[in-house]
Amino acid sequence: MASEETQNVIVAEKALKSFCVEVLHKVGVPSDEANLIVDNLIEADLRGVESHGVVRFPIYVKRIVDGGSNPRPQIRIVRQTRTTAVVDGDNGMGQLVGVRAMEIAIDKASEGDCAFVSVRNSNHFGAAAYYAEMAARRDMIGLVFTIGGINHMTPWGGAEATLGNNPFAVAFPTDRDFPIVLDMACSIAARGKIIVAAKEGTPIPADWASGPDGLPTTDPVEALKGFVLPVGGPKGYALTFTVGLLSTMLSGAYFGSEVTHMYDKTETPQNVGHLFGVLPIASFEDVDAYRTRIGKAIRDMHEAKKAPGVERIYVPGEREHLALQARRAAGIPLGGGVFRELREMSEHFDVPLVASGAA
């Protein structure tokens, strides 16, 4: 039987969101902005993407308290054309900056133009899918790129971390009640998954990371001292490098040796960069015709011959959509270590956090 420290705890979505919003409010984030930030985190947990959910909440709060992030940023456009913009996030929470930048891109594309918005002076912005889906809900294909907030990957053949795992996301509108969404880091596993494993005291697969000695490890604590491994070997390194350049070179955000450590230097602004793009469907194809064709593309995947033991084939984003529906009804399972850390914050900030039960 699992111990209390390792047993999963169920927390209702409303209770978890209320707790996080109130804590952010206590450290100086206005209520409306706090709701937006927390919505991003809670949606990640609802979708089963725990690596970008409330496991990140304590470090976000610590960075605000220590002065590394600005709780009341003045986000502004510093350069623009009809179809492009550069946004300065004023060191605000990445979720706030990310939503504003994607809104600008969508607004610029509302009359049929493709649009791209680059960002500087932001912070870690959570799950990239959140922003790509904003565009998909407007009959646009959403593109999102971001630099990692920690250098924890070496260039191929190197022995020094000079890259993050630099996630990106692409979201396609569909004829279903969910978009097709690719959201991936360029490492075999997101570092957030290793953080979750370290908090829960559970081993990780040997191909996720190496320790500080450069050798593969299943110990998540040692992995956090070492390096994540790129997906696809040298191709993954090249992809990581490319996403990093897209995320920074158009805005003046930090890259490579300029990047500081999100967890270790909590008093230091990070100047994180992002790039947001939108492709309006109607500029290329009749929207109804597009929906018919993408519906067939989904059916082609669903109806493909299955390998032995496989009951169902999914398209990207479909599993997360099903998880969201289930967890919205049943509550969000949090690992014992994550819940314990949130309870410590509950006591420190005098904000209640009540579990619904154990899982």
Residues 224-265 pLDDT 10s: 888 888 899 899 999 999 999 999 999 999 999 999 999 999
What percent of the chain has a predicted confidence (pLDDT) above 70? 97
pLDDT digits (tens, 9 = 90+) for 167-206: 999 999 999 999 999 999 998 887 778 888 888 889 999 8
pLDDT (0 to 100) of residue 14: 96
Pick the CATH number of 73-187+231-303 from 3.30.1370.60, 3.40.50.1110, 3.10.20.600, 3.40.50.300: 3.30.1370.60
Q: CA distances (Å), 127 to each of 27, 47, 99, 291, in order? A: 23, 10, 12, 26
CATH 3.30.1370.60 placement within the chain: 73-187+231-303
316 Cβ contact list (under 8 Å, min separation 6): 180, 181, 182, 183
pLDDT (0 to 100) of residue 341: 95
pLDDT (0 to 100) of residue 64: 98
pLDDT (0 to 100) of residue 359: 57
pLDDT (0 to 100) of residue 6: 60
pLDDT (0 to 100) of residue 357: 65
Model confidence at 212: pLDDT above 50? yes
Q: CA distances (Å), 65 to each of 24, 25, 27, 252, in order? A: 10, 12, 7, 26
Higher-confidence residue of 90 and 189: namely 90
Average pLDDT for 142-162: 91
Model confidence at 338: pLDDT above 90? yes
Q: Where are the alpha helices (DSSP H) in the chain?
A: 13-26, 31-46, 57-66, 94-109, 129-136, 191-200, 220-225, 234-248, 287-302, 318-330, 336-349
Model confidence at 294: pLDDT above 90? yes
User: Which among 195, 221, 164 has a CA at the least distance from the CA of 337?
Assistant: 195
Model confidence at 2: pLDDT above 50? no
Decide yes or no: CATH 3.30.390.10 for domain 8-66+316-359: no
The predicted model scores a pTM of 0.92
Model confidence at 318: pLDDT above 90? yes
Reading the block at residue 343, the tokens are: 């309870």
Model confidence at 210: pLDDT above 90? no
CATH 1.10.1530.10 placement within the chain: 8-66+316-359
pLDDT (0 to 100) of residue 200: 85
